[in-house]
Amino acid sequence: MLESSSVPLFIVLILLFILLLIVVLIKKNGTAALIWNEIIREKVTNFIMNQSKEQRILNFVLQNAVRGDPRSVVDTIDRYCSQKEWAMNVGNEKGLILDKTVEEASPSVALELGSYCGYSAVRIGRLLKAGARLLTVEFNPQFAAIAKQMIEFAGVQDKVKLLEGPSEEIIPQLKKKYEVDTLDFVFLDHWKDRYTPDTILLQECNLLRKGSVLLADNVIFPGAPEFLNYVRKSPHFQCTNYPSHLEYMEVEDAMEKAVFLG
């Protein structure tokens, strides 16, 4: 009897250990975390709720944040993504690096590549001085629709304009269509394989001036090695690395600041 009763207990302990191992792996390993959050968990939840994760984030903000208060909107998104569902916002930890860089650059004209749900657009928009503007570019039409609502709810729509389409098509249009002379600040947070070609495109289109600041997210995870190699070896950029963690996780990540020297 003792042996037969100990077998189920042993199996339970093994299963609990495996479950604990999975939880630790998801928290510490970026690849495992993305597979779990972006593929398995998100797809299942979307199917059950018949709604996208991004729409759930927006609904949570509409129900819990203060309209017209960008700080409240940012904090509410952070709360949702740290407690309920992970999402690829810059997040609260790296958000402080973003805040400091924007405040130091004090841009009159800023560009964001990769709006997603509008988190960083709101975060940047709330820090812009009077008369300054942010152009935020989003390729995915569903994300763009969510971001537009988020920006308007936060009350920063007078400073933030959302441009829908591929970055490689919009960047060459910035001077004539959107009356941009040069950019004071650029936040790169879109497809990592677009970091380098879009940086080169910004240079070719004469959109960078001496002192223009580029800040790139996720340069360690998922990683942007080609971009790091390009800006660090280029005589046209002075680089600073800011070690941090992947948004809402303990996975190592970093942001790279590249100041254009002309």
217 counts as catalytic: yes
Rounded mean pLDDT of 180-196?
A: 97
Q: Is the pLDDT of residue 23 over 60?
A: no
Question: Among residues 148, 159, 192, 257, which one is catalytic?
Answer: 192
Question: Could you tell me which residues come within 8 angstroms of residue 210 by beta carbon, excluding any fewer than 6 positions away?
Answer: 260, 261, 262
pTM of the entire structure? 0.83
pLDDT band at 41 (very low <50, low <70, confident <90, very high): low
Alpha helical stretches, state H, 29-69? 30-34, 42-49, 53-64
Q: Is the pLDDT of residue 5 over 50?
A: no
CA distance 73 to 67: 8
Question: Among residues 42, 54, 138, 189, which one is catalytic?
Answer: 189
Q: Is 131 exposed, middle or buried (0-12, 13-18, 19+ CB in 10 A)?
A: exposed
Question: Among residues 218, 253, 256, 257, which one is catalytic?
Answer: 218
Residue 143: predicted pLDDT: 97
218 counts as catalytic: yes
Residue 87: predicted pLDDT: 84
Question: Among residues 217, 253, 256, 257, which one is catalytic?
Answer: 217
Residue 142: predicted pLDDT: 96
Residue 34: predicted pLDDT: 59
177 counts as catalytic: no
161 counts as catalytic: no
Q: Is the pLDDT of residue 37 over 90?
A: no
Angle between helix axes 53-64 and 42-49 (nearest 10 degrees) is 70
CA distance 80 to 72: 12
pLDDT band at 32 (very low <50, low <70, confident <90, very high): low
204, 236 in Cβ contact below 8 A?
no
pLDDT band at 207 (very low <50, low <70, confident <90, very high): very high
Comparing C-alpha atoms, which of 134, 129, 152 is closest to residue 68?
152
89 counts as catalytic: no
57-116 per-position pLDDT tens digit: 999 999 999 999 999 999 999 999 999 887 888 989 999 999 999 999 999 999 999 999
Q: Is the pLDDT of residue 194 over 70?
A: yes
- As a whole number, the mean pLDDT across the chain is 89
Question: Among residues 247, 253, 256, 257, which one is catalytic?
Answer: 247
Query: Of 109 and 8, which is predicted with more confidence?
Result: 109
Comparing C-alpha atoms, which of 72, 34, 21, 47 is closest to residue 247?
34
208-258 per-position pLDDT tens digit: 999 999 999 999 988 999 999 999 999 999 999 999 988 777 788 999 999
CA distance 225 to 186: 19
CA diameter of the chain: 83
